[in-house]
Amino acid sequence: MPVSLRYVIKRIFYLFLVVLGVITIVFIATRIIPAHPEFLWAGPHATEEQLQEARNELRLNDPIWVQYVYFIENMLTFNFGISWSSRHPISQDILSALPATLELAISGFIIGILIGLFLGIRAAVKYGSIIDKFVRSLSISGSAIPVFWLALIFQLILAIKLGILPVGYRIDPNAEILEGFQPITGFYTIDTLIEGKFDLFLDVLKRLLMPALVVSVYPLCLTARMTRSLALETLQEDYVRNMRSWGVKDNVIIRKYVIKAVIPPLIASLGLSFGYALVGSFLVEVIFAWNGLGMYVVHALANYDFPAVIISVMTVAIIYSSINTVVDILHAYLDPRIRL
């Protein structure tokens, strides 16, 4: 039986409520906590006219619930105002930075999930061996690594000392001039392929590899830890023991049965893994000169451009909630027990 439409609609309705909740928290954080929100909005060096403009824009003279309704309307129509540090509409800035962050986060996420799954199953099969010990200590210590520091170490060793990988940037800085490269979707791996520039595609991949490896650490550790304990549980089931006694090869058991039992609970954790990947890319982008949302936020923070920061954070929270909803629906599709 496929997932009922009712369940999907319920989840999507719930997502809508969560998005409203996120907007509400942002509203409370920006309008109710500070005594003078216009200072937050207009920046530290604003003139009296700019402050007046901010007051009008925020409708601070209206009652608070009018401000609230107006705020929600603006957020839902992507009317975020103008960033005074970049002098572009914030929505446009975010739209141009978002593909870079997503490209990095998704690559790190996929690398992390695949390696984590592989290591987790290896560890469970060779329970108590050196591999198992390695995976266990990796998954405990992995969550203690500051990613931005790991990024520096990778950069120091792989790029500066050994010179295997480029130091930073998403693409050769001269590509636009020399090769006539123009971003289309903003995902450079896709863009270079669309434009048929294969050498540029390799360059993009090379530059993506190091930050993606760094971002993959948290999802990797989470996946490895979960896979290991789930696979251990499955390997102790009676049916696995029976198959072994029948002489079914370990490889077949793992490929056909263990993985099947491990995947559904793992899917449920994908949302959190992706959240880790997103936050990770947020923190390492500035180190790799990666023109994404994380770097945008760091620059906006340095310029006291708070609306840009707040809206970026809100955007990421909404993406994160949407992914969690998709994951929930996917999980329900794979595991009939949780369809309620």
127 or 149, CB closer to another protein? 149
In whole angstroms, give the CA distance from residue 315 to residue 309.
10
- Minimum Å gap between C-beta 47 and another protein is 22
Residue nearer to another protein on the CB measure, 95 or 145:
145
Q: How far is the CB of 206 from another protein (least distance, A)?
A: 19
Site residues for another protein per CB under 8 A: 18, 21-22, 24-26, 29-30, 33-34, 40, 140-141, 143-149, 152-153, 155-156, 160, 275-276, 278-279, 282-283, 286-287, 297-298, 301-302, 306, 309-310, 313-314, 316-317, 320-321, 324
Residue closer to another protein, measured from CB, 37 or 183: 37
Q: Which is nearer to another protein, 22 or 332 (CB)?
A: 22
- Distance of alpha carbon 116 from alpha carbon 293, whole angstroms: 26
Element housing 96 (H / E): helix 90-125
> For residue 106, which of 216, 32, 12, 193 has the smallest C-alpha distance?
216
Nearest to 81 by CA among 59, 105, 113, 49: 59
> In the bound complex, what is the minimum distance in angstroms from residue 205's beta carbon to another protein?
23
Amino acid letter, 38: E
Residue placing its CB nearer to another protein in the complex, 36 or 249: 36
- Minimum CB separation of residue 178 from another protein in Å reads 25
Torsion of CA 118, 254, 264, 217, to 10 degrees: -10
**Which tokens in the block code for residue 11?**
């989840």
Distance in Å, CB of 299 to another protein, minimum = 10
Going by C-alpha positions, the residue among 325, 261, 260, 339 that lies closest to residue 3 is 339
